[in-house]
């Protein structure tokens, strides 16, 4: 076996990935039979598994393995006041252009020509600053029934801050984690799932005492960077980029993006922002409710500062797919492998009968499949020759292939092939479950 080529992004990688995702059931264009709906995507059978696994990994490491975070699952629809408080509504009618060089934003009516009035740089296409999707609730469509599909999951967390403090007896510092759909009427929608109009976010709002915010901010930047590395992204393909002052959102004191080297360049996977007390103060103001936290140990009352690690599930999936993809030459044949981390792989094992016309072999393979099913997502497959079946599993990232052959009938052993090394182990039937489960941890 030759060494795999270094996984440097290549220009044609995008086409290869889009094709693999469709061919193997990871990601399909939404409403494809009608010509497709721009910037919306459907996760196929394997994509749905990959997404579940990624979400599970995030929830486990933040909500289960830490003592200072609670989970939440808010409605997508909220009262319009929430979006007024957050600042999302106030800029609704502004159509803006961004300068690609100095990143300054201008109202489109203040710009003449196609160059930046400040630095002469190239401008983006005009876009509405406010990208919220609108809808109406109830039978009458007027301004009173107007509401929005949330453009971020964060605000649902802020409005529930007091509910969580009171119901869970939480004290600052602590965080609230939420995953779910968000919607933005994006103008630029290229780059596959990277910029979608409907997407999923994984967000934490971590509430801290003012004055301790900078320390927590640095901890979270490091923590979130390491999470991606632990799940298999190559360190070389990741970097942190601190925002310059002029790039910061109006509410943020500091922000660092974790960027991934996609085939189309370095781009944001997740942003970690110090949002100060902006959101809680705003919601306090508009709702008239007290958003202060009372620390009964010190008798202090304050509005907590917030550190927000905010990542995109779809963008992460795309990064994990690109990062895992490799092509190798094995005995002069191309082998495509998705070297996904075991915890992310859609199928954990495939059970393959070497001869599908031998009922005893088929029966044994089915029995192994049924037994493993209780532990992990596994698949029985006898629809091609063993070589083809291995290639198929390599391409979708299945870590283990279990093959039942003629000898299995007498020695009660099967062959387990490792996706990455292609090494084969002969394992006793009674040990197979333990062997696979142990390696999936
Ligand atoms: P960008 O600058 O790329 O538009 P953003 O800074 O507006 O992103 P945030 O508002 O910080 O993004 O959202 C947090 C995370 O949500 C992003 O890091 C990204 O992973 C994800 N995200 C935001 N917009 C989209 C989108 N249109 N499609 C997919 N994921 C998105």
Three-class SS of 1-26: CCCCCCCCCCCCHHHHHHHHHHHCCC
Res. 126: pLDDT tops 90: no
User: Is 176:205 a contact under the CB 8 Å cutoff?
Assistant: yes
What phi-psi label fits residue 191: left (phi over 0), alpha (psi between -120 and 50 degrees) or beta? Answer: left
∠ CA 413-414-415, nearest 5°, is 135
Mean pLDDT of 232-250: 94
pLDDT, tens digit, for every residue of 153-185? 999 999 999 999 999 999 999 999 999 999 998
Res. 6: pLDDT tops 60: no
Res. 2: pLDDT tops 70: no
How many Å lie between the centroid of ligand 1 and the Cα of residue 158? 19
How many Å lie between the centroid of ligand 1 and the Cα of residue 312? 6
User: Is 253:213 a contact under the CB 8 Å cutoff?
Assistant: yes
How many Å lie between the centroid of ligand 1 and the Cα of residue 87? 17
Residue in the block written with tokens 């103060």: 281
Mean pLDDT of 241-253: 90
Mean pLDDT of 9-25: 89
Mean pLDDT of 266-283: 97
Query: How confident is the model at residue 10, as a pLDDT?
Result: 60
Specify the ligand 1 atom closest to the Cα of 313.
20
Task: Using alpha carbons, select from 173, 225, 186, 227 the residue that is nearest to residue 57.
Answer: 227
* Residue 385: how many other CB atoms lie within 10 Å: 11
Mutate to test the pocket of ligand 1, among 315, 316, 317, 318 (most ligand atoms within 8 A of CB): 315
pLDDT, tens digit, for every residue of 219-240? 999 999 999 999 999 999 999 9
Specify the ligand 1 atom closest to the Cα of 184.
27
Residue 173, φ and ψ in degrees, nearest 5: -85, 135
Query: How confident is the model at residue 11, as a pLDDT?
Result: 61
% of the chain with per-residue pLDDT over 90: 84
Res. 5: pLDDT tops 70: no
Mean pLDDT of 355-373: 96
Question: What domains sit in the chain, N to C, each tagged with a CATH number?
Answer: 13-75+154-322 (3.30.930.10), 347-440 (3.40.50.800)
% of the chain with per-residue pLDDT over 70: 96
Report the distance separating Cα 140 and Cα 349, nearest Å. Answer: 53
270 CB within 6 A, ligand 1? yes
Structure tokens at 4: 């795999």
Where residue 440 falls among pLDDT bands split at 50, 70, 90? confident
Res. 128: pLDDT tops 80: no
Report the distance separating Cα 257 and Cα 378, nearest Å. Answer: 36
201 CB within 6 A, ligand 1? yes
pLDDT, tens digit, for every residue of 75-110? 999 999 999 999 888 754 557 788 888 877 777 877
Task: Using alpha carbons, select from 273, 291, 253, 292 the residue that is nearest to residue 204.
Answer: 273
Query: How confident is the model at residue 85, as a pLDDT?
Result: 94
184 CB within 6 A, ligand 1? yes
pLDDT, tens digit, for every residue of 301-345? 999 999 999 999 999 999 999 999 999 999 899 999 999 999 999
Res. 188: pLDDT tops 70: no
Query: How confident is the model at residue 388, as a pLDDT?
Result: 94
Where residue 270 falls among pLDDT bands split at 50, 70, 90? very high
Report the distance separating Cα 198 and Cα 372, nearest Å. Answer: 35
Query: How confident is the model at residue 7, as a pLDDT?
Result: 46
Report the distance separating Cα 320 and Cα 54, nearest Å. Answer: 10
* Residue 59: how many other CB atoms lie within 10 Å: 17
Query: How confident is the model at residue 3, as a pLDDT?
Result: 40
List the end-to-end C-alpha distance of the chain, in Å, as a whole number. 27
Structure tokens at 362: 């088929």
CA atoms within 13 A on the CB side of 281: 11
Query: How confident is the model at residue 16, as a pLDDT?
Result: 96
Structure tokens at 350: 């495939």
Query: How confident is the model at residue 253, as a pLDDT?
Result: 94
User: Is 100:122 a contact under the CB 8 Å cutoff?
Assistant: yes
Residue 435, φ and ψ in degrees, nearest 5: -60, -45
Res. 35: pLDDT tops 50: yes
């Amino acid at each position: 076996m030759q060494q795999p080529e270094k996984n440097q992004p290549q220009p044609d990688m995008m086409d290869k990935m889009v094709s693999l995702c469709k061919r193997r059931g990871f990601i399909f264009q939404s409403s494809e039979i009608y010509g497709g709906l721009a910037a919306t995507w459907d996760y196929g059978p394997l994509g749905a598994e990959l997404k579940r696994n990624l979400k599970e990994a995030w929830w486990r490491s933040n909500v289960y393995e830490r003592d200072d975070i609670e989970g939440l699952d808010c409605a997508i629809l909220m009262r319009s006041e929430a979006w007024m408080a957050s600042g999302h509504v106030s800029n609704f009618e502004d159509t803006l252009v961004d300068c690609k060089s100095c990143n300054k934003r201008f109202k489109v009516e203040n710009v003449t020509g196609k160059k930046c009035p400040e630095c002469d740089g190239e401008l983006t296409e005009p876009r509405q600053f406010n990208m919220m999707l609108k809808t109406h609730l109830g039978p009458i469509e007027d301004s009173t029934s107007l509401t929005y599909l949330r453009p971020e999951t964060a605000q649902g967390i802020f409005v529930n801050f007091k509910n969580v403090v009171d119901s869970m007896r939480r004290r600052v510092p602590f965080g609230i984690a939420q995953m779910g759909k968000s919607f933005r009427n994006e103008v630029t929608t290229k780059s596959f799932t990277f910029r979608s109009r409907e997407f999923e976010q994984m967000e934490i709002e971590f509430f801290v005492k003012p004055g301790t915010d900078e320390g927590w901010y640095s901890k979270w930047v490091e923590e979130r960077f390491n999470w991606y590395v632990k799940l298999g992204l190559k360190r070389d393909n990741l970097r942190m980029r601190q925002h310059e002052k002029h790039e910061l959102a109006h509410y943020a004191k500091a922000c660092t993006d974790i960027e991934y080297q996609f085939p189309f360049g370095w781009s944001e996977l997740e942003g970690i922002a110090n949002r100060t007390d902006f959101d809680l103060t705003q919601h306090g103001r508009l709702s008239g409710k007290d958003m202060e936290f009372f620390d009964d140990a010190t008798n202090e009352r304050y509005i907590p500062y917030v550190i927000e690690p905010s990542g995109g599930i779809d963008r992460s999936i795309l990064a994990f797919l690109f990062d895992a993809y490799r092509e190798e030459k094995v005995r002069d044949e191309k082998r495509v492998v998705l070297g996904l981390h075991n915890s992310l792989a859609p199928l954990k094992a495939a059970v393959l009968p070497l001869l599908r016309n031998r009922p005893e072999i088929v029966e044994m393979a089915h029995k192994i499949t049924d037994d493993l099913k209780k532990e992990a997502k596994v698949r029985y497959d006898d629809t091609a020759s063993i070589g083809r079946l291995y290639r198929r599993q390599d391409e979708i990232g299945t870590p283990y292939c279990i093959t039942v052959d003629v000898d299995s009938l007498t020695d009660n052993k099967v062959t387990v092939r490792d996706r990455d090394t292609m090494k084969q182990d002969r394992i006793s039937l009674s040990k197979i479950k333990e062997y696979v489960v142990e390696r999936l941890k």
